[in-house]
Amino acid sequence: MLFLSAMLPTLDPELRRALAARIRYYNEMGIYDFYRRPPSDRAVEIAAAPIAVDEEGIAVLQQTFVTGVEMSPRKATAVAVSRAVEENIFEVIALKPEQSVSDPVEALKIIREDLGDCTRCVLHKQGRKQIVFGVGNPKAELMFVGEGPGADEDAQGEPFVGRAGQLLNNMIKAMGIEREQVYIANIVKCRPPGNRTPEREECATCSPFLMRQIAVVKPKVIVALGAVAAKTLLAMSASMMQLRGRFYEFRPAGIRMNDRSNEPRWDGCKLAVIYHPAFLLRDPRQKGEAWKDLQMVMKELGMKAPKQNT
Ligand code: URA
């Protein structure tokens, strides 16, 4: 493509990767429009071109460079990103199909349909019975995210229905609410064989669907249950001791916030990390710490714990 080769004759793969990462970072902060000041004060104008992909799989956004002139926001910048780069920048920028639907039930259905009979990672051929999508109030203020389905969840098609689920239900009750009021999902939607920890690759493949679910539900607070959920959602690695006990600002990665004027804008939410219920079953002494974390969440949501019957 002539336009591209004229514009980016020397962009090496490293630079492209860095550019993609930087743009993704800005996108995650809600910034989508950029313009570039040319190096000299001489006006440079490159003809506007529609989004296009050249023979090497390099995608180009519409662009115009004009020195010293205020850019109209949508005409602004140019980004060139190789398809070989692990992240496809258009995945980041484009609105997801469910984002044109205002009913969250319908929107979640669209995501479920998109997931289909998923074969995107190896878990589909490692004995899963069914995909465990997520359950609960599609307008929940509070969302719990676990690691992945176990045997009971795989059999019933619903997250947290086994022993860990019973404990999670009790924790939710202790907060003074019902399970049906919250939304519950997992990082991976298929049962890892033998309940092993999902691999990074599996989490990375599956979590974009969870990010879309989060963007539909628009919770005020997400509670990440255990290290896998925490590390995947926060894209950081640390111990549970380091991760819990505080709030993080969270925005679902890869999702462009929809600023349709007829809906209140949702700009992400708070995220807290607590011990996974399965861990608490193994080490009940940590329940007090988990309860402290849940009280922090309740305070944030303006909730009061019910009085205990003695
Ligand atoms: N553990 C999880 O992380 N998720 C479930 O759904 C069940 C157990």
Tell me the per-residue pLDDT of 170-192, one tens digit each, with 9 for 90 and over: 999 999 999 999 999 999 999 99
Other residues' Cβ atoms within 10 Å of the Cβ of residue 93: 17
Q: Which of 10-14, 105-109, 122-126, 288-292 has the lowest mean pLDDT?
A: 10-14
Q: How far is the CA of 74 from the centre of ligand 1 (A)?
A: 43
Separation CA 187–CA 226 (nearest Å) = 11
Show the ligand 1 pocket: residues with CB < 6 angstroms: 146-150, 153, 159-160, 162, 164-165, 186, 278
Q: Which of 75-84, 131-140, 211-220 has the lowest mean pLDDT?
A: 75-84
* pLDDT value of position 94: 84
* pLDDT value of position 90: 52
Give mean pLDDT, residues 13-36: 62
Q: Is pLDDT at 267 greater than 70 in this prediction?
A: yes
Q: How large a percentage of the chain has pLDDT more than 90?
A: 64
Separation CA 134–CA 237 (nearest Å) = 25
121: left (phi over 0), alpha (psi -120 to 50) or beta: beta
Q: Is pLDDT at 57 greater than 60 in this prediction?
A: no
Q: How large a percentage of the chain has pLDDT more than 70?
A: 68
Consecutive H or E run containing 304: none
Q: Note whether 142 and 297 are within 8 A (CB).
A: yes
Tell me if the pTM is above 0.85: no
Q: How far is the CA of 165 from the centre of ligand 1 (A)?
A: 7
Tokens describing residue 254: 């890869």
* pLDDT value of position 67: 29
Ligand 1: nearest atom to the Cα of 229: 3
Rounded to 5 degrees, φ, ψ at 219 are -70, 165
- Angle at which helix 200-217 crosses helix 226-234, to 10 degrees, equals 70
Q: Is pLDDT at 8 greater than 80 in this prediction?
A: no
* pLDDT value of position 302: 98
